[in-house]
A and B are shown apart, each in its own frame.
Chain A
């Protein structure tokens, strides 16, 4: 049983560019959340998707957007990249109505 998988593992972009990160949830999970983890910090909640809709959003600008597909996989899009967007982006999945969230290994984004 595959856990949460994310792609790509590493990504280098320049300021102003756009990026798309992908996540496949753990089998049986229908809810996906995205977190940003800056170096030396705890993960910060970006948003959560369930039934293909954004259900909850953290304190992140509109440059951060997402999507969930019918197969529960999800994408995180970031437009107009800033140097401060450099971080590890983590995807977590769970079954709706249950607390336990499982994390993927993350995508390391570097903005130059």
Chain B
């Protein structure tokens, strides 16, 4: 089955700096890669996603890149703010209608310091 690895497990940046979180996946059939942000006491919140037919996607300060050949994808957060502090999870799945379960990475705890 699919296996998703995520690095680093913790990341501390100063406010205004950029943060990068990297994930690799094992199943070449995976074609959908969402990123979730989880704050304390809350469920995961989708922040951005990318499909395998796209190499990069941006949404304001957040961007995701995908390298299908190398089977890795990354989350980039620019101009970090204290409210970006949370645990971030990457995930992978294949096309819905077949096996659409999400396989998650182990998470990255991001701390943005003033």
Contact = CB atoms under 8 A, between A and B. Distances in A.
Interface of A: 4, 31, 33, 35, 40-45, 48, 56, 58, 90, 92, 94, 96-106
A100 B46 contact: yes
Given A103-B45, A106-B43, A96 B103 contact: no
B109 to A, nearest CB: 9
Contact of B43 (A42, A45, A90, A97): A90
A31 B93 CA distance: 15
Contact of B93 (A4, A42, A99, A103): A99
Interface string B93-113: 101110111111111000000
A99 B96 CA distance: 6
Contacts of B103: 45
B44 A103 contact: yes
A42 B105 contact: yes
B97 A103 contact: no
B107 A99 contact: no
Interface of B: 4, 6, 32, 34, 36, 41-46, 49, 51, 89, 91, 93, 95-97, 99-107
The A interface, classified by DSSP as helix, strand, loop or mixed, is loop
A97 to B, nearest CB: 6
Contacts of B104: 42-44
A102 B105 contact: no
Contacts of A96: 96-97
Contacts, number: 66
> 5 closest pairs, A vs B, by CB?
A42-B104, A103-B43, A45-B101, A99-B32, A105-B43
A56 B99 contact: yes
Contacts of A106: 42-43
| Most chain B CB inside 10 Å of its own CB: which residue of A40, A42, A96 | A42
A40 B45 CA distance: 17
A42 B97 contact: no
